Structure 1
Amino acid sequence: MVGKTLSKLANPALFMRVSGPIVPIAGLLALLLIGAGTVIAFFFSPPDARQGEAVRIMYVHVPAAWLALQTYAVIAVASLVGFVWRHRLADVIAKVSAPFGLAFTVLALMTGMLWGKVTWGVYWDWDPRLTSMLVLLFLYAGYIALWAAIENEATAARICALLAMLGAVNLPIIKFSVDWWDSLHQKATVIRADGPAMPASMLWPLFLMAFGYMALSVFYTLIRTRSDLRARKAKPGESKAPSAAVMEPAE
C-alpha cells in the first residue's frame, strides 16, 4: 500500500506539473522573508542586555543551524524511500539537497565561531554541540564525495542512502547535546514547553529569517531536482537510473 502510494507521488511527470507553480512562489517568499527579517534584525530589534549588538549574529546563526539539521533530515527520509522502494525521484531529491545543507552547516559553524569569540572569548571549543555540528559537516561532505566517486549511479544511490540513514543518528545528538552534557551553549530558549524565553521583538526577526531560509530551501531543491530530471530525460542511458518505479517522461 505504501509502495503504491509512493510510486504515484514519485512520478517525475507529476512532480514537474506540481512543482512548476511552487518554484516562483517559494523564491518570492524567500526574498521577502529574508529581506524583512534582515531589516528588522539589524535595524529594529533591540541589543541584548549582556551581549549587546553581537546578539544580532543569532538571526543568521540559529536559522542556519536549524536548516542544516532540517535538510539532513530530508536527505535521510528521501534516502530511506529511495533505498526501500528504489524511487529515482527520492534519490535525486536527497542528492541535490546535500550541497545546500552543507552550505548552511558551514554558515552555522562560521557564525557560531564569531558569536563564540564574543560570548565565550574563543572561536572554537570542543563543546558537544559544536563537535556534533562538525560531525554533520563531515557527513554532508562524505555524502557528496561518495556520489561523485562512485561511477555507477544505482550503486552510488544505495551506498549514499546507507550513509545518510546512519548519519541521521547525529541529529538528536545535536539537538539534545546541551541537555545531555555540560555545554557552553545555553539550553533551548525558543521551542520550550513553557513557551519562548525571548521577547517578541527578537522572536519576529528570528522566525522571519527561519521561514525565509526554509522557503529558499524549497526553491533551491525544486530548481535542482527539476533540472536533474530534465537532464536525465535528455540522456540516452536513462534506463540505468536507480529506480524500480515506472516513470513517465517529464515535461
Structure 2
Amino acid sequence: MLKKRIIVCLDVKDGRTTKGVKFLNNIDIGDPVEMAAEYYRQGVDELVFYDIMASARGRGPILDLIANVASQVFIPFCVGGGITTIDDIRSTILAGAEKVSLNSQAVKNPELIREGARIFGNQCIVLGMDAARDVSKPSGYSVFINGGRVDTGLDAREWAQKAVALGAGEIVLNSIDADGTKEGYEIPLTRMIAESVPVPVIASGGGGTPEHLASVLTDGKADAALIASMVHSGAYTIGTIKNELKTLGVPVRS
C-alpha cells in the first residue's frame, strides 16, 4: 500500500489564519507564516493555504503572503482562493506554490482546469470541492461554492468526474457537514469519490483524532487526510498523529 499523506490546512482571512465550524464563526488563531514553519518542523507532508475571502471579495491571491509561507517550507504547498485566470495560476506558482486549488472558479469557468493542466501540468491543478448532503442528488451530495455559501446544484460525483476529465490531477474533498466538528470525516462521501476517479483524493472536514484519520485513509479510501483543528488547537502534533497511525497499521511517511 502506498504511504498516506498528512496535510495541514491553513484557512487565511485578512492575512491571518482562521478557523470556524461549517464555515461559520471564524476566529483568529495565528500568523500563517509562523504556523507553516512550525508544521514543517513537525514533519507535515504537505501544506494547503486557502484564502477563504478572496472569491467572495472578487480579488486575487495575496502573493507576498504566499511567498513568505513558501520561504519557510520545503514540501509541496498548495494555494487556493481568488485564482480566476491563467495569470493568477502562473503568479501563484512563481510565488512559490507547487499546486493551485480551483474551487469556485472551476465551477464558474471549467475551461480554467483544462487550460491550467495544459500549460502547467495536471499535477499542478487541484480541484477543491465543498460538498454537503442533498438527497435530491444522484450521489446524495451537492457541490457548494463561495466558501459554502452558494449551492451550485451540481452533483458531487458527476462534478468530480468532469473535473478530472478536464485535467484536475487531485481532489481536495471537503465535507461541509463535518467541517470543523472534529467528529470524524464523511466516510461514505470520501469513499464514493475515491472510487469514482483515477486521481488522488484528499479527505477534508471533521478530523479530530488519529482514529478518524485511520478510518478515512482505509475505509474511506483517501490517499491523504487534511487536518486543521486537531493541530491548531495544540491537542496533537504531526509526530504524535503519525506515530498513532503507524500503531493503527496505516502506512504513513516518516
In which range does the TM-score fall when normalised by the shorter chain?
A: under 0.3
Tell me: higher relative CO, structure 1 or 2? Use CA pairs within 8 A at least 6 residues apart. 1
Bigger-Rg structure (1/2): 1
What is the TM-score with the length of structure 1 in the denominator? 0.22
**Where is the strand percentage greater, Structure 1 or Structure 2?**
2
**Where is the helix percentage greater, Structure 1 or Structure 2?**
1
What is the TM-score with the length of structure 2 in the denominator? 0.22
